């Protein structure tokens, strides 16, 4: 009688013989590649040129304003998305966001680049325009395919290029791609800032010019900076005769960080020597920055904030990204507590301008409204520092009324 072990051995031998006859061995060559490189088919090159013609026609319709994404994902759970946005055919913004695997104890990177900052970070896809992407695709098709390479080309519903790259079939996971691979291409509908907003800024500048003559160019203002982790800093700028003559800086770190706060005071030629703190701009320079902010159209994700103080002088004129929940980055002018400084020649002291009772009551009312909005509407963000600052301003205004 044949034992079970002997039967298993005979069965294994029969199966091995069967598969050997069915699939003959070819040594170590699992896949047989064609010999030598091969040229890209002419119809593929013609398809790219046809897509480029469609892009030129579509570009004129959208005024060269569009956005697209470059997405990378790994089998390990890592994923990153780079968003490129162009206005009138020029890359105007690049943002990068990544998500890390759950087993990595690290902070994911997020940044937004605009203007001259575009390209300053090493992480993320290169900020190419669509014309540059078509040139890259032409270069990919101009090179012959090696025996181990495969070519992928793809176009969107409107015929615009989405993919034209090569990859190595010998690599199983996270295969490097050489060429163009973009997603979610769409035109950007920019919003022109109304002429009324621009005219109001110019009226404010005329008020400032008159007020500057009355105060002989002696004034002071503050720039506050705060983040969701309760870091705060304050830069105080003092102008004498229309020129910034003093800059003071002080910062406060969160309680859970064992860092020594930094502070300094610059005067004369030293103003601007430290990197920390707000730039030492005069009010005229701030108005020029505000004009630049209003000259650029708003993108769909951007919001504009423009505010003036009780004298009609500029306080806020900046844009921020509505997609960022905690302390959205701002671009423009943000100043607080602008006061005139009148120099007394006989006593040699400096004193702030005295406001009328009506002006003080109006300031108190506006600060109370701001406090209400901060506490009830935006309480989900950590605005404790701002609320304390607003209460301090209200108490100071009440003291002036006494």
> How high is the mean pLDDT of the chain?
77
At residue 1 the predicted structure's pLDDT band, cuts being 50, 70 and 90, is very low
Residue 381 has a pLDDT of: 54
CA dihedral 115, 88, 198, 206 (to 10 degrees): 60
Residue 28 has a pLDDT of: 33
Directed axis angle between helix 195-214 and helix 283-295, to 10°? 180
> Do the beta carbons of residue 318 and residue 293 sit within 8 Å?
yes
Which has the minimum average pLDDT: 37-51, 261-275, 313-327?
313-327
Per-residue model confidence as pLDDT tens digits over 371-381: 655 555 555 55
The pLDDT of 347-364, averaged and rounded, is: 54
The pLDDT of 270-294, averaged and rounded, is: 87
Residue 390 has a pLDDT of: 75
The span from the CA of 230 to the CA of 246, in Å, is 27
Q: Locate tokens 């615009």: which residue? A: 160
Residue 30 has a pLDDT of: 33
- Tell me which residue of 71, 72, 69, 109 sits closest to 93, measured CA to CA: 69
Spans of all domains in the chain: 42-187, 209-353, 355-402
The pLDDT of 323-342, averaged and rounded, is: 71
pLDDT at 184 over 90: no
Residue 350 has a pLDDT of: 42
The pLDDT of 256-265, averaged and rounded, is: 72
Residue 138 has a pLDDT of: 92
Question: Cα 72 vs. chain centroid, distance in angstroms?
Answer: 19
Per-residue model confidence as pLDDT tens digits over 197-213: 899 999 999 999 988 88
pLDDT at 271 over 80: yes
From residue 373, give the alpha-carbon distance in Å to each of 245, 292, 306, 369. 36, 29, 17, 6
Per-residue model confidence as pLDDT tens digits over 20-69: 444 443 333 333 344 557 888 889 899 999 999 999 988 888 878 888 99
The pLDDT of 236-260, averaged and rounded, is: 80
Residue 379 has a pLDDT of: 52
The span from the CA of 207 to the CA of 63, in Å, is 37
Answer positive or negative: Cα dihedral of 227, 232, 236, 237.
Answer: negative
pLDDT at 159 over 80: yes
Residue 49 has a pLDDT of: 92
Q: Identify the DSSP state of 40.
A: P
Residue 352 has a pLDDT of: 47
Residue 15 has a pLDDT of: 56
pLDDT at 2 over 50: no
> Do the beta carbons of residue 224 and residue 233 sit within 8 Å?
yes
The span from the CA of 328 to the CA of 302, in Å, is 10
At residue 256 the predicted structure's pLDDT band, cuts being 50, 70 and 90, is low
> Do the beta carbons of residue 390 and residue 367 sit within 8 Å?
yes
Strands (E), 126-262: 149-155, 161-168, 177-181, 183-187, 219-226, 232-240, 243-252
Strand order across the 177-181 sheet? 149-155, 161-168, 177-181
CB atoms within 10 A of CB 196: 8
pLDDT at 133 over 90: yes
CB atoms within 10 A of CB 192: 8
Per-residue model confidence as pLDDT tens digits over 92-125: 889 999 888 877 777 888 888 888 888 888 888 8
The pLDDT of 332-351, averaged and rounded, is: 62
Between residues 165 and 275, which one has the greater pLDDT? 165
Which helix (H) or strand (E) is 291 found in, with range? helix 283-295
Residue 206 has a pLDDT of: 92
């Amino acid at each position: 009688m044949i034992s079970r072990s002997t039967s298993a051995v005979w069965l294994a031998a029969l199966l091995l013989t069967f598969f050997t006859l069915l699939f003959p061995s070819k040594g170590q060559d699992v896949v047989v590649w064609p010999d030598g490189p091969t040229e890209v088919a002419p119809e593929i090159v013609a398809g790219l040129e046809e897509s480029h013609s469609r892009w030129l026609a579509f570009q004129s319709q959208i005024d060269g304003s569009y956005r697209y994404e470059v997405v990378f994902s790994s089998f390990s759970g890592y994923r990153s998305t780079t968003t490129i946005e162009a206005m009138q055919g020029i890359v105007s913004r690049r943002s990068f966001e990544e998500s890390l695997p759950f087993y990595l104890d690290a902070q994911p990177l997020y940044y937004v680049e605009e203007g001259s900052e575009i390209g300053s970070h090493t992480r993320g896809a290169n900020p190419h325009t669509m014309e540059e992407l078509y040139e890259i695709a032409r270069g990919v098709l101009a090179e012959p395919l090696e025996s181990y390479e495969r070519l992928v080309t793809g176009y969107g519903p409107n015929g615009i290029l989405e993919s034209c790259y090569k990859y190595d079939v010998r690599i199983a996971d996270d295969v490097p791609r050489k060429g163009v691979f973009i997603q979610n291409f769409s035109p950007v509908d920019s919003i022109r800032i109304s002429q009324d907003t621009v005219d109001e800024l110019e009226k404010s500048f005329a008020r400032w010019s008159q007020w500057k003559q009355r105060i002989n160019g002696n004034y002071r203002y503050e720039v506050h900076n705060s983040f969701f982790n309760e870091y705060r800093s304050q830069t105080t700028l003092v102008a004498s005769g229309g020129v910034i003559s003093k800059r003071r800086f002080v910062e406060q770190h969160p309680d859970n960080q064992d860092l020594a706060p930094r502070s300094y005071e610059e005067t004369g030629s030293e103003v601007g020597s430290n990197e920390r703190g707000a730039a030492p701009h005069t009010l005229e320079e701030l108005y020029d920055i505000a004009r630049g902010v209003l000259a650029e159209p708003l993108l769909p994700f951007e919001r504009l904030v423009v505010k003036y103080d009780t004298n009609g002088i500029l306080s806020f004129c900046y844009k921020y990204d509505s997609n960022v929940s905690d302390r959205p980055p701002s671009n423009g002018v943000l100043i607080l507590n602008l006061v005139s400084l009148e120099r007394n020649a006989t006593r040699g002291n400096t004193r702030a301008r005295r406001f009328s009772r009506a002006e003080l009551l109006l300031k108190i009312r506006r600060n109370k409204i701001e406090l209400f909005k901060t506490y009830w509407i935006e309480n989900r963000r950590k605005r404790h520092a701002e609320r304390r600052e607003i209460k301090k301003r209200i108490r100071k205004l009440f003291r002036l009324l006494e």
